[in-house]
Amino acid sequence: MNYRAAEFFAGIGLMRMGLDREGVSTVWANDIDAKKWQMYRHNFDDADGIFSIKDVHQVDSSELPDIDLATASFPCNDLSLAGARHGLAGTQSSAYWGFIDVLQGMGSRRPPVVLLENVPGFLTSNDGNDFRDALLALNDLGYAVDAFMVDAARFVPQSRLRLFVVGSKATPQKFNVAEGLFFQSDSRPESLADFIFLNPEVGWNIRELPYLPILSQKLDNIVEDVPLNSEVWWSKDRAAYLLGQMSEKHLAVAKKMIRGEKTSYGTVFRRVRAGRSMGELRTDGIAGCLRTPRGGSGRQILFCAGQGKYRVRLLTPRECARLMGADDYKISVPLNQALFGFGDAVCVPVIQWIARYYLKPLLEDLCSAPMALPDSRKAVRYQPRRSSKSNVA
């Protein structure tokens, strides 16, 4: 079965890339950012025909074709712990309600499944009230909901924990709070399991998930071979200044790397500690979470050391692509534009895993079992409006 998806807040298309790899075709996409659209267009030949560049609040439901899945990686600015925490009422993250309005307007054409993606702060924003309101809004549209967390570090050498919500036109479950441990797993940590059981007013439909994979890559597997005479390497003075920004603990680690017999790699973020800009070095083989480069702290720095020497530079766009599992992504834009695009994106193999073990089995179940729709008293069986051979690799 070839399922069809609409991608809201599409960015540079990494949600689509993950779905494509599992045979789910993206037939409509939307984003407000013209620079991200430029990157998207360079990577997908049909972009001109399916991409709508506008504010989600301006999207008319009639624009959307018939779909089986709607995805929404809506802005995290107001939900992130690094942001102002204005929540779903904030200027950026309130775009979620635009997405809900579009689904509302689709009426009986609403897709049977929706997928939300955002930062872990979504769970705790406004003491959990924002998350609860978002889930109840999906319930009101006829979707029972599930939630889980996946760290990209289980797939690629980048620490990137994200919260996912799946809404489906399935019958909500009734479960006993005393059985709570059943839902706690590596993809549903205690904080999320607690939320599920402390909010019985939400219409839940919890599905079992397999264990997440164990990472086989390390940071050195994604490092690009940049010539030593390249201008991207920092000058000696600038590199020495970064060392001077490290605490005694981090500086000791850096010096040990420099003395090493082999070249090793770490990443550095600049953070303000006690009013001072500090360089924090990470050397566990995992990069920090890619972020949009707003201000100096958003740019992740590569620290390369060994045999009595060290070199410093920013991560390259190609390295960022590899950290997002999009190794072959075409990049033809300036550095900052690329960093913005990847910093706001989803990790491709994470989406593949979710599509393979959750979304496609769920759609198959909805095809084979009756489901209750809020608009009708009669139980119906979901049937995709098209059928064709699957193109799953």
Q: What is the pLDDT along the chain (393 residues), one digit of tens a residue?
A: 789 999 999 999 999 999 999 999 999 999 999 999 999 999 999 999 999 999 999 999 999 999 999 999 987 554 544 445 445 554 545 788 899 999 999 999 999 999 999 999 889 888 888 899 999 999 999 999 999 999 999 999 999 999 999 999 998 887 665 555 557 789 999 999 989 988 989 999 999 899 999 998 999 999 999 999 999 999 999 999 999 999 999 999 999 999 999 999 999 998 888 788 899 999 999 999 998 876 555 789 999 999 999 999 999 999 999 999 999 999 999 989 999 999 999 999 999 999 999 999 999 999 876 554 444 334 444 455 443 333 333
| Residue 117: strand pairing partners | 164
What pLDDT is attached to residue 388? 37
28, 178, 334 from 197: Cα distances, Å: 36, 9, 47
pTM of the model: 0.89
How many other CB atoms are found less than 10 A from the CB of residue 308? 9
How far is the C-alpha of 376 from the C-alpha of 104, rounded, in Å?
Answer: 15
Residues in CB range of 178: below 8 A, 6 or more apart = none
**Structural domain spans, the chain:** 4-216+344-381, 225-315
The pLDDT, as a whole number, for residue 92 is: 47
Residue that has been written with the tokens 């006690």 in this structure? 274
Residue 203 and residue 207: Cα distance in Å, rounded?
13
Dig out the tokens for 91 from the structure.
């200027």
Phi-psi region of 348 (alpha: psi -120 to 50; beta: other; left: phi over 0): alpha
152 φ, ψ to 5°? -60, -20
294 CB-near residues (< 8 Å, 6+ apart): none
Task: Report the pLDDT value the prediction gives residue 50, as an integer from 0 to 100.
Answer: 96
How many residues can be counted in the chain? 393
Give φ, ψ of 136 to 5 degrees: -65, -30
Domain covering 4-216+344-381: architecture:
3-Layer(aba) Sandwich (3.40)
Cα gap 131→204, rounded to integer Å? 13
**Is there a contact between 236 and 320 (Cβ–Cβ < 8 Å)?**
no
What's the rounded Cα separation, in Å, for the pair 268 and 287? Answer: 9
pLDDT of residue 21: 97
In eight-state DSSP terms, residue 375 is T
As a whole number of angstroms, the distance between CA 303 and CA 267 comes to 6
Three-state DSSP at 7 gives: strand
- The closest of 192, 202, 205, 282 to 246, measured between CA atoms, is 282
Confidence (pLDDT) at 174: 75
Bridge partners, residue 309, by sequence: 306
Residues sharing a CB contact under 8 Å with residue 302, sequence separation 6 or more, in sequence order: 223, 265, 266, 267, 268, 312, 313, 314, 315, 319
pLDDT of amino acid 269? 92
Tokens of 298: 């958003």
| Alpha carbon distances (Å) from 326 to 39, 198, 351, 365 | 13, 38, 11, 30
In the prediction, which pLDDT does 375 show? 43
Q: How much is the pLDDT for 370?
A: 57
Would you state the pLDDT for residue 376? 37
